[in-house]
Amino acid sequence: MRKRQFNITGLCVPEYDYMVDINGRVDKVKEMVDEGLYFTINRPRQYGKTTLISALTRRLSNEYICASISFEGLGDESFENAAAFCDALMNKIQTALSESPVVYESNYADSWMNADVNSFISLDKHITAMCGDKKVVLIIDEVDKTSDNRVFIHFIGLLRQKFLSRKNNQGSTFKSVILAGVHDIRNLKVKLANEGVYSPSERQAPLLNSPWNIAADFLVDMSFHPADIATMLYNYETDHSTGMDVYRVSETIYEYTGGYPFLVSKICQLLDKDKSLLQDWTPRGARNAVKLLIRQSNTVFGQNTLFDDISKNLENYPDLYSFIYDILILGKRKNYLNAVPTIQRAAMFGIISNNNGYAQVSNRIFEIVCSDYFIAKDDENRGHNQITGYHGDIILGGRFDMERCLIKFAEHFRQTFTEDSAPFIEEHGRMLFLTYLKPLINGNGFYHIESRLTDQRRMDLVVDFGPDQFVVELKLWYGESAHEKAYDQLAGYLKSKGMTIGYLLTYDFRKDKNRSPRARWIDWDGTRVFDVVL
């Protein structure tokens, strides 16, 4: 029997792959089918949609006739006109039903299987006759492979019309229709209008009436929480007897991934297969797997498509770039409003999530990917006034000296910038330090930004390098009392992480000739803080 693996490509099945137990999620989706609902499983790339559909199809097959198809690989020619689309769709459905474990039996079966369906009118009639008194469920995966073609809009309009007619007892149609993809199908018509697919005369108010407005909200949480991750690791531990503390490792993996399914499986795959990690199934090993994942993503051969998509989306959508930059680098609070197109797009791509009504970057790994991208763009755009560090000054014996890092940064800062630079530093000071830090830790460490929903005046960096972890808080100077409050905040944060040593870097722009930079250690509320004021 084939040994099970951690799978990060396509469909996962429990016979061959280590999987999170998704039975509870399948139960919730089946309840929606039982109610006869039409809906979209609308989630980001590599979020487990195909795996959920496969498990759902197996579950439904005991009770329903399932036509589960995918638009992937269908070809652009299938969407050139109504005739090509209707013919391709019926062929897909025919193939799916012929392979279904439930035999499709109907007086109509022999005729419809070979029928000529070349228009939406004939498709309408064939769906009515095909479904009859049967409980047929239509499932279409990769549905947004057609997101730039209006013929698909006509199809979902037909589904809508037949759904409403069924409610009035006027004909038969599918018991339930499930569409799965990244894009929100309910907004697809407006998206196509904005891209010029529709003529000016068609871009009127009725266009805003989505043909998919009959769809129910899909509220099933598909992210993997620590208890979910533990179900997968328990299976692995049963097979391999590593001695891991399953729940602690699950908590650490969740801490960095936010439960994003691809990231969870990728970290587990690295721990299982990469020889450099030595099968270290501990929280430390999980952090090292994150470090390796980030390092691999920065090489030509290691770039994964998920990270590549994030970079492309930030590049292609300036509003998205500014929105994520404001949240992550400038620490601005942004309300999570579904009606805002930029927020819709960021959520659709999986870059942000909703935290009590505020937008936040959805996980620490995405924070690292986005901030690395911003640093690269900042280097590219400024091309001057760069502050660079020398590894030999800061990394000794394989250990990172954060005290010396801050001292050297302060020296370079004073040599590079003057008081006239104050407006620039107020806006870009955080980016300057990140730009200085990143090449020093590249390959041997990583950092993430703990700026979520905190006040805009501070940014907390957590830097992992080898076996060491450092907390660095960045602030602007707002007076002595505010500075003492920063000590309190940092001390509280250190204690929450079980640490006693932290670092505070403050930009001070007072026009005071008696003011001088300082770098000192202070003891504060049971912690030690290295305090640097520029």
Question: Of 394 and 414, which is predicted with more confidence?
Answer: 394
Chain centre distance of CA 504: 31
How far apart (Å, rounded) are the C-alpha atoms in residues 45 and 126?
33
Residue 194 burial (CB count, 10 A): 12
Residue 471: enclosing H or E segment and its boundaries?
strand 468-476
Contact 309/345 with Cβ under 8 angstroms?
no
What is the pLDDT, as a whole number, of residue 206? 46
Q: Is residue 208 scored above 90 in pLDDT? A: no
Angle value at C-alpha 285, between 282 and 287, nearest 5 degrees: 115
What is the pLDDT, as a whole number, of residue 443? 73
Question: Of 387 and 229, which is predicted with more confidence?
Answer: 229
What is the pLDDT, as a whole number, of residue 466? 85
Cα–Cα distance list, 368 to 290, 297, 363, 432, 450 (Å) = 10, 11, 9, 16, 11
For 65-118, write each residue's pLDDT tens digit: 999 999 987 888 888 889 999 999 988 988 888 776 665 565 555 555 556 788
Which of 156-160, 317-321, 436-440, 523-527 has the lowest average pLDDT? 436-440
Q: Is residue 300 scored above 50 in pLDDT? A: no
For 316-373, write each residue's pLDDT tens digit: 999 999 999 999 988 888 999 988 989 999 999 999 999 999 999 999 999 999 999 9
Question: Of 159 and 117, which is predicted with more confidence?
Answer: 159
Per-residue pLDDT band at 297 (split at 50, 70, 90): confident
| Percent of the chain with pLDDT strictly greater than 70 | 85
What are phi and psi for residue 74, nearest 5 degrees?
Answer: -70, -30
Question: Of 208 and 81, which is predicted with more confidence?
Answer: 81
Per-residue pLDDT band at 207 (split at 50, 70, 90): very low
What is the pLDDT, as a whole number, of residue 119? 92
Q: Is residue 4 scored above 80 in pLDDT? A: yes
DSSP code of residue 333: -
What is the pLDDT, as a whole number, of residue 12? 93
What is the pLDDT, as a whole number, of residue 205? 44
Instruction: Give the ranges where 69-119 is alpha helix by DSSP (H).
Output: 82-98, 109-113
For 130-146, write each residue's pLDDT tens digit: 888 889 999 999 988 76
What is the pLDDT, as a whole number, of residue 54? 94
How far apart (Å, rounded) are the C-alpha atoms in residues 55 and 41?
14
228: amino acid identity, one letter: D
Q: Residues 464-490: what's their mean pLDDT?
A: 90
State the pairing for strand pair 358-361/352-355.
antiparallel
Q: How many residues does the chain have?
A: 534
Structure tokens at 107: 């007086």
Q: Residues 39-59: what's their mean pLDDT?
A: 95
Q: Work out the mean pLDDT of the chain and round it to a whole number.
A: 86
Give helix then strand counts, H and E, for the chain.
19, 14
For 421-432, write each residue's pLDDT tens digit: 667 677 778 888
pTM for this model (two decimals): 0.89
For 496-518, write each residue's pLDDT tens digit: 889 999 999 998 877 665 566 78
Top-confidence range, 86-90, 130-134, 262-266, 434-438: 262-266
What is the pLDDT, as a whole number, of residue 379? 73
For 453-469, write each residue's pLDDT tens digit: 555 567 889 999 988 99
For 192-202, write each residue's pLDDT tens digit: 655 666 555 55
Question: Of 448 and 108, which is predicted with more confidence?
Answer: 448
Q: Residues 217-244: what's their mean pLDDT?
A: 97
91: amino acid identity, one letter: N
How far apart (Å, rounded) are the C-alpha atoms in residues 472 and 527?
13
What is the pLDDT, as a whole number, of residue 258? 96
